[in-house]
Amino acid sequence: MRLIDREEQNIVILSPKGKIMGGPDASLLHDKLYECIEKNKKRVVIDLAGVDWMNSTGLGILISSYTTLRNHEGELKLANVTDKIRSLLTITKLVSVFESFDSVDEAVKSFK
Amino acid sequence: MKKPVIKGDTITVPSHPEYLTDVDAFLEGTLRGFGAEESVVADIAISVSELVNNAIVHGNKSIMDKKVTVTIARHNRAVVITVSDEGGGFDPTCVQSPLAEENLMKEVGRGLFIVHSLMDQVQVEPSQKGTRVTVTKEI
């Protein structure tokens, strides 16, 4: 997995690319998230458009990110959830946990 | 880091999560050679990554000298994949439901549930010499 980050209207947009299957993937996203929190940037969108697929480790990373931000009075939203990932979120009932949007723009606007 | 060992339809790797990408590359290459659709390739790849992760962490307890072996074969329209570890075995009936309200926000514990959801057949054979999981999926 690779991770690209940018900012839009003071909201951090994290764009993982490739497959999220474990190993160093978790620490990559986790470290970036803590870097954002330390800079007091606690409103985050994870753009999943470039993620081919993820396994339960990937779902665990999303939950960890969600919980970490909530514990620091921040917020996490998802954008561009692919059919494959939506299917995993549905069968694991996590679809009810995450707020998701069809585009990064919509996710960013939802913070206002 | 030792290199993965590939012999025909089998790949063997040490117990470290960095080898997940090697197993995935081997698996996806083989499945595309079988002519499997991309959606099916992804379902199988997700499931095998879960099984290899379980074999490394829960089976072999991340002891690098212990190996994880993945074998892939095609039988008519189905693909049969076996993932074996060298751990002490486990009781699959002890796995908690990840759908229970108290487990919903846990970061771990969904692997085998996802495998059962995505594969047509799942057979878990624990023993004192290790656990062997065989999954089948029509392509």
**Strand A51-54 relative to strand A11-20: parallel, antiparallel, unpaired?**
parallel
Higher per-residue pLDDT: A62 or B93: A62
Please enumerate in sequence order all residues whose Cβ is within 8 A of that of A40, keeping only pairs 6 or more positions apart, or say none.
none
Tell me, yes or no, if B76 comes closer than 8 A to chain A by beta carbon.
no
The Cα of B73 is separated from the nearest Cα of chain A by a number of Å equal to 22
The Cα of A7 is separated from the nearest Cα of chain B by a number of Å equal to 27
Query: Which residues of B fall within a CB distance of 8 Å from A92?
Result: 98-99, 110, 113-114
Q: What is the mean pLDDT of residues B128-138?
A: 95
**Domain residue spans of chain B:** 5-138
Q: Residue B64 to residues A57, B3, B6, B32, B52: CA-CA distances in angstroms?
A: 20, 12, 17, 30, 13
CATH T-level fold of B5-138: Heat Shock Protein 90 (3.30.565)
Asked if the Cβ–Cβ distance from B42 to A52 is below 8 Å, we say yes
Q: What is the pTM of this model?
A: 0.93
Tokens of A11: 């909201």
pLDDT for B84-129, tens place per residue?
A: 999 988 777 788 899 999 999 999 999 999 999 999 999 999 988 9
Q: Check if the beta carbon of residue B36 is closer than 8 Å to that of residue B45.
A: no
State how far the Cα of A107 lies from the Cα of A40, in Å rounded to an integer: 19
Coil, strand or helix at B26: helix
pLDDT for A75-111, tens place per residue?
A: 999 999 999 999 999 999 999 999 999 999 999 999 9
pLDDT for B34-78, tens place per residue?
A: 999 999 999 999 999 999 999 999 999 999 999 999 999 999 999
Tell me, yes or no, if B92 comes closer than 8 A to chain A by beta carbon.
no
CATH T-level fold of A2-109: Transcription Regulator spoIIAA (3.30.750)
pLDDT for A8-46, tens place per residue?
A: 989 999 999 999 987 777 788 888 988 999 999 999 999
B56 phi/psi in degrees, rounded to 5: -70, -50
- Lay out the sheet containing B121-127: strands in order across: B5-7, B10-14, B67-75, B78-84, B130-138, B121-127
Asked if the Cβ–Cβ distance from A92 to B110 is below 8 Å, we say yes
Tell me, yes or no, if B88 comes closer than 8 A to chain A by beta carbon.
no
**Domain residue spans of chain A:** 2-109
In chain B, which among 30-49 make CB contacts under 8 A with chain A? 39, 42, 45-46, 49
Find, in chain B, the residue whose alpha carbon is nearest to that of A53: B42
